[in-house]
Amino acid sequence: GAVVSQHPSRVICKSGTSVKIECRSLDFQATTMFWYRQFPKQSLMLMATSNEGSKATYEQGVEKDKFLINHASLTLSTLTVTSAHPEDSSFYICSAQPVLAGGTSSYNEQFFGPGTRLTVL
Amino acid sequence: RKEVEQDPGPFNVPEGATVAFNCTYSNSASQSFFWYRQDCRKEPKLLMSVYSSGNEDGRFTAQLNRASQYISLLIRDSKLSDSATYLCVVNRGSSNTGKLIFGQGTTLQVKP
């Protein structure tokens, strides 16, 4: 089956530092990846859509200058949390949509990474 | 109003019980509907898609009522391994962009 990896799985950092999280599709290509955030006992909240070769689109209320997204290849998207603060501590999860034959995306199928648990001290 | 609403539970049931979860969504233009399962501190995993005619996968049955904007999941003969949080998920809008909106989740605890 389709596998998506995230790295690191867990990170603890000091307030004010930046943290980069990688999301990789291991056995398929993905022109579109999504970044979610989940606070304890809450649902996953879509943060942004990462598009290979173009700018990410952010959901309302998500600061694009704070959460930098780069999707430089068909198998890798990165999320950088800049100047992290304790309130950014959360579970960050990515998902990837496979590219089907013909170059279209499988809109109804997404594969999720295992998540990255960020703790900002 | 939340885009996808679920009763958070928890639902505590004995093994072998039948349990039903409900979910409502606010965007009438939504086209795709899913149930995901999430275990503690893990990523969500697709349980099943939900089709207009209703669909079944083993002990799991999903129903969709577009008129009422209501989705349900029925689990028969509950197993201990069914203990998890069940997430109702809807795509945002009619354009099928792939943007998924997750409900808060309903927690199920199956007891021996």
The pLDDT, as a whole number, for residue A98 is 83
The pLDDT, as a whole number, for residue B51 is 87
Measuring CA to CA, which residue among B43, B50, B46 is closest to residue B23?
Answer: B50
Question: Which residue's entry shows tokens 């960020």?
Answer: A118
The pLDDT, as a whole number, for residue A31 is 84
CA A30, CA A113: separation in Å to the nearest integer? 13
CA B19, CA A120: separation in Å to the nearest integer? 39
Q: Contacts of residue A34 in chain B, CB cutoff 8 Å?
A: 98-100
Do the Cβ atoms of B91 and A107 come within 8 Å? yes
Q: Residues near B91 by Cβ (< 8 Å), separated by ≥ 6?
A: A107, B30, B31, B32, B33, B97, B98, B99, B100, B101
- Give me the residues paired with residue B34 across strands: B49, B89
Do the Cβ atoms of A49 and B4 come within 8 Å? no
Per-residue tens of pLDDT for chain A, all 121 residues = 689 999 999 999 999 999 999 999 998 888 889 999 999 888 899 999 998 888 899 999 999 999 999 998 999 999 999 999 999 999 999 999 887 655 555 555 789 999 999 999 9
Do the Cβ atoms of A93 and B102 come within 8 Å? no
What 8-state DSSP symbol labels residue B80? G
Residue B70 pLDDT > 90: yes
CA torsion sign for B22, A41, B91, A5 is: negative
Nearest CA in chain B to A9: B42
Question: Which residue's entry shows tokens 């949390």?
Answer: A81
The pLDDT, as a whole number, for residue A104 is 55
Mutate to test the interface with B, among A44, A106, A107, A108 (most CBs of B within 10 A): A44
Q: Residues near B96 by Cβ (< 8 Å), separated by ≥ 6?
A: A107, A108, B31, B32
Position B93, amino acid = G
Residue B1 pLDDT > 80: no
Measuring CA to CA, which residue among B97, B101, B99, B74 is closest to residue B89?
Answer: B101
The pLDDT, as a whole number, for residue B52 is 86
